[in-house]
Amino acid sequence: MPREPYEASSFSVPPCRIDAIIFTRLAKDGLVPALPCSDAVFVRRVFLDLIGTLPTGDEVAAFLSDKASDKRNKLVDTLFKRDEFADYWAMKWCDLLRVKAEFPVNLWPNPAQAYHRLVHTCLADNLSMDRFARGLLTASGSNMRVPQANFFRAVQSREPRSLAAAVSLVFMGVRQDSWTPAELDSLAVFFSRVGYKSTMEWKEEIVFFDEAKPAAKGPVNMPDGQLLPVPPERDPRSVFADWLIQPNNPWFARNLANRAWYWLLGRGLVHEPDDVRKNNPPSHPELLAYLEKEFVSHGYDMRHLLRLIVNSRTYQLSCIPVGDNPRTLELFGAYPIRRLDAEVLIDAICAVTGTGESYSSAIPEPFTFLPDGSRAIALPDGSISSSFLELFGRPARDSGFESERNSNPSAAQRLHFLNSSQIRSKIEKSSSLGKLLRNTGAPNNTATQLYTDILCRPPTETEKSLVREVLGAATNRKEALIDLTWALFNTTEFLCRH
């Protein structure tokens, strides 16, 4: 029997190739997949995973009342068109690309914001990822007028080896210490002629192909065993980009397919997602190969990959595993519960309460104070932050590693939600709380609004009874509603993806 309100009795989407591979592997290991997630769970999950935003109570109600058999697929397509889609995925890419104005990257404010705008525009326009990568890898020009040029500035060291390490991490999923010294030196050849020069403009810097630097002394031995000629008159970065994005390259498409799976399901097929090496094989090689092939055959379209995954039965499993074998979660037999990203969490609190946050940089450079009410997922610069974001593990954007983002709960975080004046102030100022205070009757309606606004689902009968009991016994209705709201904010159901 499905457990209300988290599970459904049957799937509303047909099985796909992803499911065949995952469920076959689970059966081989004697594991049983979880039941499908309910519509209420799905609508919240897919909003958070695709646009980093909670659905409103009205959006939840509309989805739950829709009787169409394909409503989940339609919702996914609708979310791709939302402005928040580019906001959220630009945030993820800017973590990898180290988009940060101040120490230790020192892009400076104007170039950092231009860089963020470039990434945001590419994602909003659904630029193919091979063109996106090539634009970054081959860019020359002013850091302020050619935002792509900031890719080679957002590395703490400008030595060719460091540039090669940054490129391999982002676009190949390989860490520097996974290469042999000879392999890293070979990759460094392609970035040995990157030049930098300042101008008379404040904080402006030109990135260019420096023909005065020595050219490669013959073909370069690539990691796939290919000997790649590097003509002395040609920018070696362009030669590398051509090699990287060719359809049969064994790293580029596979890396992005693996990252897409990690971003949606909390664990890479190769895990960690930026730790690709021979002795860290994928859990499902056939699935990774399938996703890679789909990605390439559809023109390196990232939305196609995301659509494939979220429309699968595997993604739409409940978070309640069958049995207690930890291998079930490792092999994707249930959706993994994990805490919301810091930016998503504070945006969710602000959305529910109708309040805003202030964000600024601690270092007094220009353009580092954003208007009140700015959304955290849309912050253009890693130097622009808040005490909440710092406490809840927003990455420093120093290295480009996925592990820089820390979503593990801590005692300080728990105390903040239980005791902080910030959370209480937001609840007290909440516009939705004001509506509930004006609605002096119908406790069931109060319970429905509270649960739908905060947890994105209607309350169960037991929860309705609890709200009636609390409000019936309260001498101060406002304080009772504040306590109920605060209690829901402190639930795992609110704090986590599930």
Domain boundary among 329, 353, 368: 329
Does residue 269 share a domain with residue 204? no
Question: What's the pLDDT at 1?
Answer: 57
Which residues lie closer than 8 Å to 289 by C-beta, 6 or more apart?
254
Tens-of-pLDDT digits for all 498 residues of the chain?
578 899 999 999 999 999 999 999 999 999 999 999 999 999 999 999 999 999 999 999 999 999 999 999 999 999 999 999 999 999 999 999 999 998 888 899 889 999 999 999 999 999 999 999 999 999 999 999 999 999 999 998 999 999 999 999 999 999 999 999 999 999 999 999 999 999 998 889 999 999 999 999 999 999 999 999 999 999 999 999 999 999 999 999 999 999 999 999 999 999 999 999 999 999 999 999 999 999 999 999 999 999 999 999 999 999 999 999 999 999 999 999 999 999 999 999 999 999 999 998 877 555 577 888 899 999 999 999 999 999 999 999 999 999 999 999 999 999 999 999 999 999 998 887 777 777 766 677 889 999 999 999 999 999 999 999 998 898 998 899 999 999 999 999 999 999
Does residue 304 share a domain with residue 207? no
Closest among 336, 172, 296 to 241, alpha carbons compared: 172
Does residue 428 share a domain with residue 317? no
β-pair type (384-385, 496-497): unpaired
Does residue 486 share a domain with residue 347? yes
Does residue 262 share a domain with residue 227? no
Residue 4 lies in a domain: no
Residue 238 lies in a domain: yes
Does residue 353 share a domain with residue 442? yes
Residue 134 lies in a domain: yes
Closest among 317, 263, 256, 257 to 85, alpha carbons compared: 263
Which residues lie closer than 8 Å to 326 by C-beta, 6 or more apart?
none
Exposed / middle / buried, residue 214 (Cβ in 10 Å: 0-12, 13-18, 19+):
exposed
Does residue 443 share a domain with residue 360? yes
- Nearest-angstrom CA–CA distance, 111 and 150: 7
- Nearest-angstrom CA–CA distance, 326 and 330: 7
Domain boundary among 175, 209, 244: 244
Token pair in block for residue 383: 């130097």
Question: What's the pLDDT at 370?
Answer: 82
Question: What's the pLDDT at 151?
Answer: 98
Number of domains in the chain: 3
Does residue 126 share a domain with residue 34? no
- Nearest-angstrom CA–CA distance, 357 and 350: 8
Q: Three-class SS string for 288-326?
A: HHHHHHHHHHCCCCHHHHHHHHHCCCCCCECCCCCCCCC
- Nearest-angstrom CA–CA distance, 223 and 232: 21
Does residue 463 share a domain with residue 367? yes
Contacts 24+ apart (CB under 8 A), 296-302: 296/247, 296/253, 299/128, 299/130, 300/128, 300/129, 300/130, 300/131, 300/245, 300/253, 300/256, 301/126, 301/128, 301/129, 302/89, 302/123, 302/126, 302/129, 302/256, 302/260
Residue 2 lies in a domain: no
Residue 3 lies in a domain: no
β-pair type (338-339, 360-361): unpaired
Q: How many CB atoms lie within 10 A of CB 458?
A: 18
Structural domain boundaries enclosing 194: 84-244
Token pair in block for residue 476: 């101060």
Residue 11 lies in a domain: no
Does residue 99 share a domain with residue 220? yes
Residue 7 has φ and ψ, to the nearest 5°, of: -120, 155
β-pair type (227-228, 496-497): unpaired
Does residue 284 share a domain with residue 197? no
Domain boundary among 310, 329, 348: 329
Does residue 236 share a domain with residue 123? yes
